């Protein structure tokens, strides 16, 4: 195996336990040097609303603003900070379309999804146009074999990507989603999954619809924050 | 993209990938090999137009007024004829023969015929160095420079200067393709680039390879008669290449760890310095620079030198300082292998049998010596721990060219 990001050879180091236990070998995806460029977020030192890394576990100013605006706030977790390495990774994975790179964080994201023990996992969808050009939904790629419920879909065939807007424009985006089948989430513990949490607008729109469908509980997760 | 059984074949780069690595959802595929040039997937279709050659030729095409030596003249004529006949040919010219200038007449005639040409090289620094020289030589021709970090947009041009990777973007576009330093990394070991160079020329187009050190693949094509070969065994100043001389230094690495350099090395360095010549000392690894530098400071206390490696932030300033004569010598790794010229230097390699030095790299390194008219000779010494094939082949290549050169000198 080679490192998916820098193509350096990865050494396979077998431990005695690997040999004795006859378990599947851990799939190596990154070399240590590339791995060190990403910064993991410890949920014990993050805002409980949006998952932003900070000193304590008090609600951050942005989440307080959401609380005032909507009357409730998300309880979101993120695995990594959105630093330069993550930006570069997202560029290569999403925009250049290198679908192999989903394997870099797939295992970690799946593990966190299992930890969060939701009844229904709802990925944020992509538009039909994106699907036709990119050929994949980046969130589904990261989730891998996790079983998901396609509860949401885009209202329009295409829209201007959030990443092309300024913060102000992003926050003013109208509701882009609609519910496919509200019964799928009624009375359930729902986990919403996206790739990046930037302003929170997208996830709040999605959460709004799912809360409207009377779910029991709603948590959300993203790869980067 | 095409699916052949278990493997996916990319129509752009010609490489095959296991379908599991190349799969997108919904039964689509993409090519992970050439994704740096923008993704090719089963979602895309390729269109191409036959090359129309819509160029207006502005006279004079050649705005270069240099003189070629009689030997260069001969080689230039062969190049010219080869380009005119769209032949596939190899020009094997020693390092420092003046290859670029020899192409000028051939290129000028081809441009006058209204042909579309590309000059490509595997190395971006070679392209960057070549482009201004070509611009100066063909001021009335529209040219474009393409490489991975180019920010200017693409435009249709009669003469394209690009890295060999960029050739993947062209399909049957050029009447003649010239590839400089064809033996250098990454071209030599990369099937996609060979495929690119074949796809980029028209079906009746020609290809000219320039090199000082043809590798086994090129030589095989020469032997099969697929490539016509012409030699230029003498440098532009008419002298032979400096011979590579070998010194055995078994266990030098252990010696260095105990704190002493090979005696023959120190003696040789001192002799060069007292004779008033500067030199380059090549070491196999960046880590060796750190161990050997203090030993050299002890052994040669009153001489001014420094070390340079690829990731050195001051690489360019140090090289410039060496050029300006501020240092007596430079200790370096393979990064100085080609493209750099210091006048009147000697060249030494410690550990030439290390696998990082390919035989073509060794020939290139040896070719750093004796490049100026003021001192057309120079000493080249390799210290080796044991005999090896790469070193012997480098020595043989230099001797082979010198034999041909001597025959010409008579």
Query: B62: distance to nearest CA of chain A, Å?
Result: 42
pLDDT digits (tens, 9 = 90+) for A15-46: 888 888 877 777 778 888 889 999 999 988 99
pLDDT of B30: 92
Is residue B380 very low, low, confident or very high in pLDDT (cuts 50, 70, 90)? very high
Residue numbers of chain A with a pLDDT score lower than 50: none
Q: Which of B210, B136, B206, B214 lies closest to B177 in space, CA to CA?
A: B206
Does the pLDDT value for residue B196 go beyond 70?
yes
Question: How many angstroms separate the CA of residue A137 from the nearest CA in chain B?
Answer: 9
Confidence category of residue B20, pLDDT binned at 50, 70, 90: confident
Closest residue, chain A, to B25 (C-alpha): A136
Name every chain B residue with its beta carbon within 8 A of the beta carbon of A7: none
B interface residues, A as partner, C-beta within 8 Å? 21, 23-26, 28, 30, 32, 35, 38-39, 41, 43
Residues of A in contact with B38 (CB under 8 A): 96
Interface contact flag, A96 B39, Cβ < 8 Å: yes
Question: Which fold is adopted by the domain B70-232?
Answer: Rossmann fold (3.40.50)
Do the Cβ atoms of A225 and A50 come closer than 8 Å?
yes
Q: Where are the beta strands (DSSP E) in B264-309?
A: 278-282, 305-308
Distance, CA of B6 to CA of B17 (rounded, Å): 9
Please state, rounded to an integer, the average pLDDT across all residues of chain B: 88
> A94 to chain B: nearest residue by CA?
B39
* Chain A neighbors of B28, CB-CB under 8 A: 135
- pLDDT tens for residues B252-299? 999 999 988 999 999 999 999 999 899 999 999 888 898 999 999 999
Burial category of B238 from C-beta neighbours within 10 Å (exposed 0-12, middle 13-18, buried 19 and up): middle
Q: Residue A91 half-sphere exposure, CB side, CA atoms within 13 Å?
A: 11
pLDDT given for residue B339 in this prediction: 64
The answer for residues whose C-beta is within 8 angstroms of residue B171's C-beta and 6 or more apart is: B46, B48, B199, B200
Inspect the interface and report whether the beta carbons of B25 and A96 lie closer than 8 Å. no
Domain at B244-409: CATH code: 3.40.50.300
| Interface size between A and B, measured as CB pairs under 8 A | 29
Please indicate whether, in this complex, the C-beta atoms of A100 and B26 are within 8 angstroms of each other: no
List the one residue out of B183, B203, B99, B223 whose CA is nearest residue B359: B183
User: How many Å lie between the alpha carbon of B6 and the closest alpha carbon of chain A?
Assistant: 17
- The percentage of residues in chain B with a pLDDT greater than 70, rounded to a whole number, is 99
Hey, which CATH number is domain A42-224, 3.30.70, 3.30.160, 3.40.50, 1.10.357?
3.40.50
Q: Which of A97, A132, A137 sits opposite B30 (nearest CB)?
A: A97
State yes or no: pLDDT of B47 exceeds 80.
Answer: yes
Residues of A with CB under 8 A from a CB of B: 96-100, 132-133, 135-137, 140-141
Per-residue pLDDT at B189 exceeds 70: no
Q: Which pLDDT tens digit goes with each residue over B70-126?
A: 888 888 999 999 999 999 999 988 877 788 888 899 999 999 999 999 999 888 878
Chain A residues within an 8 Å CB radius of B39: 96-98
Q: How far apart are CA B371 and CA B323, in angstroms?
A: 14
Distances (CA, A) of B108 to A206, B79, B88, B294, B389: 64, 11, 18, 52, 41
Within 10 Å of residue B312's Cβ, how many Cβ atoms? 18
For residues A209 and B340, which has the higher predicted lDDT (pLDDT)? A209
Say whether pLDDT at B176 is over 90. Answer: yes
| Spatial CA neighbour of B96 closest among B69, B125, B136 | B69
pLDDT at B84: 93
Percentage of chain A exceeding pLDDT 90 = 53
The full set of domain ranges for chain B reads 2-37, 70-232, 244-409
Query: Do residues B107 and B138 touch, judged by C-beta distance below 8 A?
Result: yes
Confidence band for B314, pLDDT divided at 50, 70 and 90: confident
User: Shortest CB distance from B43 goes to which of A96, A135, A137?
Assistant: A135
- List chain A domain ranges: 1-36, 42-224
Nearest neighbour of A97 by CB, restricted to B21, B23, B39: B39
Give the pLDDT band (50/70/90) at residue B130.
confident
What's the rounded Cα separation, in Å, for the pair B143 and B122?
Answer: 19
């Amino acid at each position: 195996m080679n490192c998916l990001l820098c193509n350096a050879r990865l050494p396979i180091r077998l431990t005695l336990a690997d040999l004795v236990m006859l378990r599947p070998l851990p799939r190596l995806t990154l070399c240590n040097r590339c791995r060190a460029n990403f910064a993991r977020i410890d949920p014990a030192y993050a805002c409980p609303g949006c998952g932003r890394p900070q000193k304590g576990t008090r609600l951050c100013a942005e989440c307080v603003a959401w609380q005032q605006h909507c009357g409730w706030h998300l309880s979101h977790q993120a695995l990594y900070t959105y630093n330069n390495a993550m930006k570069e990774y997202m560029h290569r994975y999403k925009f250049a379309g290198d679908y192999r790179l989903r394997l870099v964080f797939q295992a970690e994201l799946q593990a966190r999804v299992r930890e969060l023990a939701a009844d229904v996992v709802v990925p944020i969808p992509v538009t039909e146009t994106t699907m036709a050009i990119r050929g994949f939904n980046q969130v589904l790629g990261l989730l891998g074999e996790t079983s998901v419920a396609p509860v949401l879909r885009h209202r329009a065939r295409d829209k201007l990507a959030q990443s092309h807007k300024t913060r102000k424009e992003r926050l003013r985006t109208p509701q882009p989603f609609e519910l496919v089948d509200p019964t799928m989430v009624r009375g359930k513990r729902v986990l919403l999954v996206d790739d990046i949490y930037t302003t929170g607008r997208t996830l709040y729109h999605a959460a709004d619809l799912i809360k409207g469908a009377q779910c029991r509980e709603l948590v959300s997760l993203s790869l980067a924050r | 993209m095409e699916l052949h059984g278990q493997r996916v074949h990319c129509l752009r780069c010609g490489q095959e990938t296991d379908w599991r690595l190349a799969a997108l959802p919904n039964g689509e595929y993409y090519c992970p090999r050439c994704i740096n040039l923008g993704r090719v997937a089963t979602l895309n279709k390729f269109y191409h137009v036959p090359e129309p050659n819509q160029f207006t030729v502005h006279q004079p095409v050649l705005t270069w007024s240099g003189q070629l030596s009689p030997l260069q003249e001969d080689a230039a004529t062969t190049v010219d004829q080869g380009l005119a006949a769209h032949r596939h040919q190899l020009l094997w010219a020693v390092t420092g023969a003046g290859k670029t200038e020899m192409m000028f007449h051939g290129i000028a005639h081809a441009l006058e015929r209204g042909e579309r040409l590309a000059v490509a090289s595997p190395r971006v620094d070679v392209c960057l160095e070549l482009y201004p020289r070509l611009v100066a030589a063909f001021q009335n021709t529209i040219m474009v420079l393409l490489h991975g970090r180019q920010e200017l947009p693409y435009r249709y041009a009669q003469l394209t200067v690009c890295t060999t990777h960029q050739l993947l973007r062209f399909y049957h576009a050029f009447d003649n393709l010239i590839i400089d330093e064809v033996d250098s990394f990454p071209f030599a070991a990369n099937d996609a680039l060979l495929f690119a160079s074949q796809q980029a020329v028209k079906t009746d187009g020609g290809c000219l390879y320039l090199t000082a050190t043809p590798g086994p693949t090129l030589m095989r094509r020469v032997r099969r008669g697929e490539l016509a070969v012409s030699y230029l065994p003498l440098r532009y100043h008419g002298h032979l290449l400096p011979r590579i001389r070998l010194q055995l230094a078994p266990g030098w690495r252990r010696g260095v760890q105990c704190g002493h350099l090979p005696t023959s090395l120190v003696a040789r360095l001192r002799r060069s310095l007292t004779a008033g010549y500067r030199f380059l000392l090549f070491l196999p690894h960046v880590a060796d620079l750190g161990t050997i530098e203090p030993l050299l400071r002890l052994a040669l206390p009153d001489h001014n030198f420094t070390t340079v490696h690829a990731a050195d932030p001051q690489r360019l300033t140090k090289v410039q300082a060496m050029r300006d004569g501020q240092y007596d010598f430079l200790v370096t790794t393979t990064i100085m292998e080609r493209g750099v010229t210091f006048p009147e230097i000697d060249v030494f390699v410690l550990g030439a049998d290390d696998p990082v030095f390919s035989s073509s790299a060794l020939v290139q390194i040896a070719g750093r010596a004796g490049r100026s008219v003021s001192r057309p000779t120079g000493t080249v010494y390799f210290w080796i721990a044991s005999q090896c094939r790469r070193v012997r082949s480098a020595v043989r290549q230099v001797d082979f060219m010198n034999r041909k050169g001597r025959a010409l000198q008579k």
